Structure 1
């Protein structure tokens, strides 16, 4: 103001008015510039960190540890998206918990499975006494891996599925969809459950320990693979079997048995065919059942978050692979598999990311 008054006193009429106008214009432009840079709602929004909770699985499990790596390293690959790995009892819990807590729908995603979500929507007893209505509104973000559930035995007399009659079978917990729920579904749906001597749902490692200790005749293990079975992860129960130095074999489930179960129930199990030597001590092809391990959100999950989370996930697969085996099956083709197989079930934000990345047409 002091400069302006001085100019008005020292310069003659029109020149003073011209100088005053120039100063006013510059000051106004500067003021507008400050406002647009410092207080732009868009820029403030773009720079603000946004957290997405990933309700996944127990601490120490492969999926939890993999997303924990993503959480730790995400800031190196994205300016504002911050995924947070959240320990949970498992995928069965996740599907129910998200459905019952609408307050999480805007900022959370869950570990899930394709058969699991079918069971929840259908109301498959005893796992879901009634259809879980909110599960019908779940949308896939991406695929964590292809799974295969296989029965294993140390008994040379057990050569095929029919030989389970009168035997003691051990599985994972009923709350574990891959390790416990799915094997029980197949045993029950084929009528085999009633013919067993016993079914003991013990847990991931404990069910194999029971086999090795002579408390069970058949145990259950699960494999996790990338799209096309190009890479297969063998979790800890495999190491227990190998370390025992005991002969063991995998029991194939004929594709016709799996397909008949699907036809009768409406389930969507996939037939898995593992070529020889995919697994330890596997001289012949093994056929069994499996599904897709999913990262899922409610349909009201914001589209921009689904888009950014998908791109970050695809980008960070190789980073996670340096620290966790799950990262090795997080290939772009694997993560985007559902977008090609069941596009209508995929979240629009995730689908936009896959199209932009050239992973789907």
Structure 2
């Protein structure tokens, strides 16, 4: 990383984190506060949880605003950086109201880009590996255009994120907005919701509660799992990167595991005797997902450090505590 980028990262900044009470957003807020930055967390709490940021509410450098990014937002004073993480990321939740999901990605991006333009702030879009659809090549580099379905139950999220990337490109070209785009691959860790439909949280909660472990399809489809601390480090490195890094950058762990490998590891780590139950594969569920992180390594000096085994230990411990304290009682676990 260049010395200029290092200075940019270390200097105290005033930073807006949209979606800051969510799973990834709350960890990002923690990391930014720890570095001495002033953080404005904006979230409508539709999928985020106030419990994720409760420990920050009294901090002098942290403020929370309950707001929907599809509505105009005014931020008084100077603003240096904006992270846009404002959109449900789990299929069961973004499919509840697909039109709203699409509006959050597109209208939310426009509103935040307009703030970035007004404030001359750098803005980072949390995009997704879903822009690659059900990929025909592996691993997926950033110049792969994807194999996507624009007409299906997942399209509201996938196409919303693709449209947001286009907006970031066009605001940079037409208005000179300083933009960054992170294509985030499967991320896991503490503060995930038990009912968000992601495979790690599903398996861990099912194992801890003694429920059947739900395997979709044959279980041979693969994913690459990045621990949340590694992702947050990558997001900050990308935000601090020089202007040559404006093109999309994959952030994820290139280690690839089948669903059967993952479920066996969860069973081993929890000591659970839960049985495996096979169900039909959801529509448009990708068969393979693995990032090519060459660009992140070369541009940012970033690579994930936490192994799946280590990350699962932290995640299992979190959900075990939640379960023992009744924190999962209000959440539906399928």
TM-score normalised per structure 1: 0.31
TM-score (normalizing by structure 2): 0.32
